[in-house]
Structure 1
Amino acid sequence: MFGSLRKKLNSVIQEGFIITENLQQQYRQSQTSSASSSATTPTLDESIHSNRSSSSFAGQLPGSDLILPGDVNMAAGCNLLAKYEDAWKQLHDANENNATKATQVAKQIERIGQATNVLHTDMTDLATCLSGIPALVEKLHESLETLQNVNKLSATVETELERLEDLCEECDLQEFMLNKQCELSQFKQMKMAELESYRQRVAAKHQDKIRQHEQNLRRIQRERQAVFDDAFRGDLAEFKSKGVLTKIQKEEPTLPVALEEVVLDDSTNKDALEDFLNG
């Protein structure tokens, strides 16, 4: 900005110097031309003597028989008329020269007025710009302070944005964990329901096997009871017929088997249960 103002001031000063030099040259030319014209213009007496003859003549007029007397001057008043004619011509030439120079001077005055207006406008603009420099400096200081405040605010906003991103990530993580917990709870409930159903099926099968085993035991007991009855009746018949009993070799007594001691070993069902629990 200050560089442009300096350039404009230099251009205004140079234009003022150029206009001053042009005026001085034109003034010198006008002085020289006026001196030369006064030196080359003949005086009134010289023009009268050069252009007119002041001698008087006498004699006969050409083309006439009239004879003039010797004391009559036919050229009387010619010198005065020539003087007035030369003076009028000089005045006419001077008027034309003055009109031409007046036109030139008017043009020069107009150019000077235009240049002066331009210089006045430039100087006014320069003064306005120079008067606005303190306010501009103050505005620049305010702008610097505003930029510093904006920089601090930007840093604060950036920090808050980072915190917001961290909070968003934590919220997303918590939501993900809650969803997974819900899915795990649903999966656990489903597996517990399947386990309960499987347990019921296994218990039902176990009850069936226990019932079948009890039935087998009762059938075996009935068969043994029938065998013992047959043997007792045979021994009774033999005792009645012979009076003595045939000694039977004593066997080791078998311990009675309780229902709680019955072990059902079903490897197929056990493997299926382990596969279900291990997922």
Structure 2
Amino acid sequence: MFENFREKLHMVQQDFTTGLKTLGDKSRDTKVKTRPRFEESPPLFTAGLEILRRYEENWFLLHKRTKDGAQDAEAVDGDIVMLSAHWERRRTALTQLQEQLRSLPVFVSELDAIAANIAHLEGDFEEMESRLVYLETLCCQCEQQTFKQHHINQLESYKRKKRKEVEALEVELNSEHDQQVAQLEQATERKLRERQKVYEEAFNQDVEQYLSTGHIQHRERLCGRPAICVT
């Protein structure tokens, strides 16, 4: 619309300028041709010259105004061009806005679908978090159970080791005890044999003395006991 108006205005301006130039040229030609007649008979053409002068002045003013109008029209034409470009930009922006508005329901539906998916994902995330907490608890329990079993195995190993040490110590103590008992029995048996031998010797002496003298001599203690004298 602005382009057609601008073209029509430019055509009118050109036609109007061409017409004014044609009239100016004709008036100058008429003035040049009438000067000799005026010089020959000035009283007859005074009124006509006055009318022509006024005509030329009016046409000069009209030409000047037309020129100013042409300049103003050029300025207006530039403004129209700028306004047309601005309107084209606005029209393009409006077209884009309309396209975006037409696609807005689809965008809103997609946004609702995305919101629903986000809500579903939030539920999944909460469930996954609870399962991760449960898994962490199970891992802690398994770790504690493993640690406990390790200590139990260490304790069992320590018990077996100490049991073996105790058994070895018992064997060693039993062996030493048996040796000591055997040594004590041997010493006791040796002392008994020695004491029996002493008694036998004393008895034999008493028997010999009794057979020879008819009485037994009083003896001192033998092995801590007093001697018995028999007559």
Q: TM-score, normalized by length of structure 2?
A: 0.67
The match for 2:42 is 74
The match for 1:235 is 206
The match for 1:182 is 153
Cα separation, 2, equivalents of 1:101 and 1:244:
190
Task: Please give the per-residue CA displacement for 1:76-117, whole angstroms capped at 9, x wherever unaligned.
Answer: 545345255335414422321321231232133124313322
The answer as to 2:111 corresponding to 1:143 is no
Task: Please give the per-residue CA displacement for 1:202-225, whole angstroms capped at 9, x wherever unaligned.
Answer: 122212211221121111111221
The answer as to 2:122 corresponding to 1:122 is no
Residue 123 of structure 1: CA displacement?
Answer: 1.8
Cα separation, 2, equivalents of 1:124 and 1:75:
75
The match for 1:104 is 75
Q: Aligned letter for 1:74?
A: P
Q: TM-score, normalized by length of structure 1?
A: 0.56
Q: CA RMSD in A?
A: 3.0
DSSP 3-state at the match of 2:68: helix
- Return the match for 2:131 from 139, 148, 160: 160
Cα separation, 1, equivalents of 2:44 and 2:193:
205
**Which has more helix, going by share of residues?**
2
Runs of 4 or more consecutive aligned structure 1 residues displaced over 4 Å after TM superposition: 75-78, 242-246
DSSP 3-state at the match of 1:74: coil
The match for 2:166 is 195
Residue 138 of structure 1: CA displacement?
Answer: 0.5
The match for 2:222 is none
Residue 191 of structure 1: CA displacement?
Answer: 0.8
Map of 1:1-279 to 2, 5 A cutoff? 73-77=41-45, 79-80=48-49, 81-82=52-53, 85-243=56-214
Task: Please give the per-residue CA displacement for 1:49-102, whole angstroms capped at 9, x wherever unaligned.
Answer: xxxxxxxxxxxx9xxxxxxxxxx7335545345255335414422321321231
Q: How many residues align?
A: 180
Cα separation, 2, equivalents of 1:213 and 1:172:
59
Residue 177 of structure 1: CA displacement?
Answer: 1.6
Task: Please give the per-residue CA displacement for 1:124-173, whole angstroms capped at 9, x wherever unaligned.
Answer: 13212211210121012111211111111111111210121122112111
CA 1:84/1:76 → structure 2, altered by over 3 Å: closer, same or farther? farther
Cα separation, 2, equivalents of 1:241 and 1:219:
33
Q: Aligned letter for 1:110?
A: V
Cα separation, 1, equivalents of 2:140 and 2:191:
73
Cα separation, 1, equivalents of 2:187 and 2:45:
192
Cα separation, 2, equivalents of 1:169 and 1:105:
86
Cα separation, 2, equivalents of 1:110 and 1:185:
102
The match for 1:7 is none
CA 1:175/1:162 → structure 2, altered by over 3 Å: closer, same or farther? same
DSSP 3-state at the match of 1:156: helix
Cα separation, 2, equivalents of 1:91 and 1:77:
25
Q: Aligned letter for 1:73?
A: S
Instruction: Show structure 1 runs of 5+ residues with no match.
Output: 1-60, 62-71, 247-279
Q: Aligned letter for 1:192?
A: R
Residue 120 of structure 1: CA displacement?
Answer: 1.0
